[in-house]
């Protein structure tokens, strides 16, 4: 079995694969930052709760946008599974051409999204990954990562709106019946949620105009579930990043 681990700023996603089948996904919170022993307990609890024998895992790959956690999870995976994990970075073969000013600065999550997108849907893509930050990714007609836009994420916007204002409560993140809210909760939810809907559609339209061609639209990320029903032109794929990690593990299998 292959273990894929995506360490994000808010969540850690674990995926277990049998061949090309993702048969198990497990999530744990990244924040607050824990000790190595605490994260090891998270991994062991994941195995116990799902009745998985660590000996069944014979390959592993991880991506991380939280630099201090990458070496911690490399050690945990080696100790628990007796497997030395591959880590998404400059030394790993991705099969993805990166056409940006500085390819080395493109994050592991962006690379994994793009690799997964090309493997699943082909070239010419607009990927909206709505997480702690919203990443809007352009994969060109040759299958290269050709740039992106990055914005504050949905949950970040909701938290800052409540934290940085004196009279506004924490939003419930439930879609109101109308865009024009007639009470505080509906007004906040309309503003937060429709901002992300309109941003995803608007960036998709702008990327297509700048690229000079239509693009297949893919929606992913932990916060995409809040807005997916309002984005019918997008294909919702919640595990796109884990799929990208699986593809890179195959390309680097010895």
| Mean pLDDT taken over the chain | 93
Confidence of residue 168 (pLDDT cuts 50, 70, 90): confident
Domain 2-87 of CATH type 3.30.565.10: no
What pLDDT shows up at residue 41?
93
User: Quick one: average pLDDT of 221-225?
Assistant: 95
What pLDDT shows up at residue 166?
67
What pLDDT shows up at residue 254?
66
User: Quick one: average pLDDT of 50-72?
Assistant: 94
Confidence of residue 20 (pLDDT cuts 50, 70, 90): very high
Confidence of residue 91 (pLDDT cuts 50, 70, 90): confident
User: Quick one: average pLDDT of 219-245?
Assistant: 96
What pLDDT shows up at residue 167?
66
Spatial separation of the C-alpha atoms in residues 173 and 192, rounded to whole Å? 8
Helix (H, G, I), strand (E, B) or coil at 6: strand
The pLDDT > 70 percentage for the chain reads 99
Q: Which of 254, 252, 253 is nearest to 96 (CA)?
A: 252
Q: Which of 112, 134, 132 is nearest to 61 (CA)?
A: 112
Contact by Cβ (8 Å): 99, 140: yes
Spatial separation of the C-alpha atoms in residues 166 and 23, rounded to whole Å? 46
Spatial separation of the C-alpha atoms in residues 34 and 36, rounded to whole Å? 7
Catalogue the active-site residues: 109
What pLDDT shows up at residue 109?
96
Domain 103-245 of CATH type 3.40.50.2300: no
With both helix axes pointing from N to C terminus, report the angle between 108-121 and 240-251 in degrees, rounded to the nearest 10. Answer: 90
Q: For residue 217, give every residue at least 6 positions away whose Cβ sits within 8 Å of its Cβ, in sequence order, or none.
A: 125, 126, 128, 204, 231, 233, 234, 235
In this prediction the pTM is: 0.92
Confidence of residue 31 (pLDDT cuts 50, 70, 90): confident
User: Quick one: average pLDDT of 17-25?
Assistant: 94
Q: Taken in order 244, 224, 66, 37, is the CA torsion positive or negative?
A: negative
What pLDDT shows up at residue 175?
86
DSSP 222: T
Q: Which of 55, 48, 65 is nearest to 10 (CA)?
A: 65
* Residue 62 backbone phi and psi in degrees, to 5: -135, 150
User: Quick one: average pLDDT of 203-210?
Assistant: 98
**Quick check: 12 pLDDT over 70?**
yes
Helix (H, G, I), strand (E, B) or coil at 151: strand
User: Quick one: average pLDDT of 50-62?
Assistant: 95
User: Quick one: average pLDDT of 184-200?
Assistant: 93
Spatial separation of the C-alpha atoms in residues 91 and 3, rounded to whole Å? 19
How far is CA 54 from each of CA 96, 227, 240, rounded to the nearest angstrom?
31, 36, 24
User: Quick one: average pLDDT of 47-68?
Assistant: 94
Helix (H, G, I), strand (E, B) or coil at 43: helix
* Domains 2-87 and 103-245 in one fold: yes
Every domain of the chain and the residues it spans: 2-87, 103-245
**Quick check: 212 pLDDT over 70?**
yes
pLDDT (tens digit per residue) in 122-164: 999 999 999 999 999 999 999 999 999 999 999 887 787 777 7
User: Quick one: average pLDDT of 172-198?
Assistant: 90
Q: Taken in order 71, 75, 80, 83, is the CA torsion positive or negative?
A: positive
């Amino acid at each position: 079995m292959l273990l894929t681990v995506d360490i994000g700023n808010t969540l850690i996603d674990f995926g277990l694969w049998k061949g090309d089948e993702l048969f198990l996904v497990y999530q744990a919170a990244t924040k607050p930052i824990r000790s190595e022993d605490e994260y090891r307990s998270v991994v062991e609890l994941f195995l116990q709760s799902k009745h998985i024998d660590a000996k069944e895992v014979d390959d592993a790959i991880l991506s991380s946008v939280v630099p201090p956690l990458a070496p911690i999870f490399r050690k945990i995976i080696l100790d628990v599974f007796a497997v030395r994990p591959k880590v998404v970075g400059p030394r790993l073969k991705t099969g993805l051409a990166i056409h940006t000013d500085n390819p080395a600065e493109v994050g592991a999550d962006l690379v994994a999204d793009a690799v997964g997108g090309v493997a699943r849907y082909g070239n010419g893509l607009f990927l909206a990954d709505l997480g702690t930050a919203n990443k809007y990714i352009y994969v060109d007609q040759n299958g290269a990562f050709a740039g992106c836009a990055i914005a504050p994420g949905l949950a970040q916007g909701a938290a800052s709106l409540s934290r940085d204002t004196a009279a506004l409560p924490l939003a419930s993140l439930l879609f109101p019946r109308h865009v024009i809210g007639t009470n505080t909760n509906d007004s906040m939810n309309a503003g937060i949620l429709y901002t992300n809907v309109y941003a995803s559609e608007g960036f998709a339209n702008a990327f297509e105009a700048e690229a000079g061609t239509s693009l297949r639209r893919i929606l992913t990320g932990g916060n995409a579930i809040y807005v997916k029903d309002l984005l019918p032109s997008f294909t919702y794929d919640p595990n796109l990043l884990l799929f990208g990690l699986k593809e890179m593990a195959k390309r680097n299998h010895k």
